[in-house]
Amino acid sequence: MTAAPAHALPVVDDEPAVAARGAGEMRAVIRGSEGGLWTRSWDGSSWTAWTRLAGGPLTSGPAIGARPDGIYDVVARGLDGAYYHRAFTPALGWTPWTSLEGGFLSAPGVTYRQGTGEIDIVGVGLDRQLYHKAYVPGAGWSGWNPLGGALRDRPSIISPSPQMLEIYARGTDNQLHEKYWTPATSWSAYYSLGGALTSGVSATTWDANRRDIFARGADGATVMLTWTNPGGFSPWARLSGGPSSGPGATAIAPNRLLVFARAQQRLVSNSFSSTWTGWRDFGFAPRFTAPPPPPSVPGPTPGSSLRLNAGFGCVPQGGRVPVRVRIKARSDRLKPRVLRVVFFIDRGKRKRIDRRAPYKTRIRVTFKRGSKHRVHARIHFRRKGSQRVQRKTVSKRFTMCG
């Protein structure tokens, strides 16, 4: 992307996006406060930390789509108003940004087209009609094709079955509108689906018989519209809670959904598996800052401490070493968040991992009488307001009773 000043265009649709290849793999993307693209991934058991990718700055939130072979496509608007594309490949990592040209008022939508392997991108052009572009394997990118309409904000495009495309977008009347494509019908007319929307749209599908469409409603809460076969469209439903942005959604597996949104400076998530969990904290939205200088004295935060308490004089053979980590701070604001504590003796042949307070254990020892040893607690924690995981090891000496 060009390196023009970061505020050449206003930022639009500054919302997170997520795509999944199943319950064991997904990737979330978001525009950071400095305009860069940030990403984190899920491996089936945990999320990685946010990672900033080179390039930018962006002037819209990103869109992301997943291919069956593990490739993820990311598209966002650049400083010149054009869309830019980059991809993550398992073998090579991230490709550079490539311009797709055009001029847009919204963030894009992107999807992998089942049955053909094409990549489809849509966006709201400067004349407020919808535009579509496709990457055809072996042939490259098509030009931008105008599809009419009077739209605003980020549209969403999905491929619910082979060679079928569906687009959902907020119109200038603030209602949801649908347009679809099949080889037999080509592009349909727009169909109004009602609603009173105040953000762009995020649609997802887990099979040909289900669609879920999400947006922000008039009161700021996330609203959703569901289509099933048979049954058709359900009434609009409201996900209670207070996200401040439009949503980014994905179907993880049949009967499983995940939705992200911004809530002021933080991100929140809401997941569905027969029922909704409710909104849960997903940490601070990524911010680009210079790394802090290393502290002169190891510690979690000024005004706080992590201490190892060991209540023993000497320990008899076959006895247990009682140890406990204590977290002290002048106020809750300064208190670090402990993620886990690894207790071990000497070089770590005897270990215990504790992920919940009160972070204490009793380790059996059978060392030689009179020998001296150390019990350690390796504490993994985060400072307040930081996503970076830090580590501090504290220890106490003990002697085996003679």
Tokens of 63: 């869109």
Q: Where in the chain are the domains?
A: 17-284, 304-400
pLDDT tier for residue 336 given thresholds of 50, 70 and 90: confident
- Using H for helix, E for strand and C for coil, what is the string for 149-172? CCEEEEEEEECCCCCCEEEEEEEC
Helix, strand, or coil (residue 332): helix
The string of pLDDT tens digits covering residues 262-304 is 998 899 999 999 899 999 999 988 876 544 444 443 444 544 4
DSSP state of 58: -
pTM: 0.71
The string of pLDDT tens digits covering residues 221-251 is 999 999 999 999 999 999 987 688 999 999 9
Spatial CA neighbour of 33 closest among 367, 354, 265: 265
Reply yes or no on domain 17-284 having CATH 2.40.50.100: no
Mean pLDDT of 74-91: 96
Helix, strand, or coil (residue 53): coil
Instruction: Give, for 363, the enclosing helix (H) or strand (E).
Output: strand 360-364
- CATH superfamily for domain 304-400: Macroglobulin (MG2) domain (2.60.40.1930)
Spatial CA neighbour of 197 closest among 238, 257, 138, 144: 238
CA distances from residue 241 to 55, 96, 269, 279, 392 in whole angstroms, order as listed = 34, 38, 11, 7, 37
- What per-residue confidence (pLDDT) applies to 290? 46
- What per-residue confidence (pLDDT) applies to 296? 42
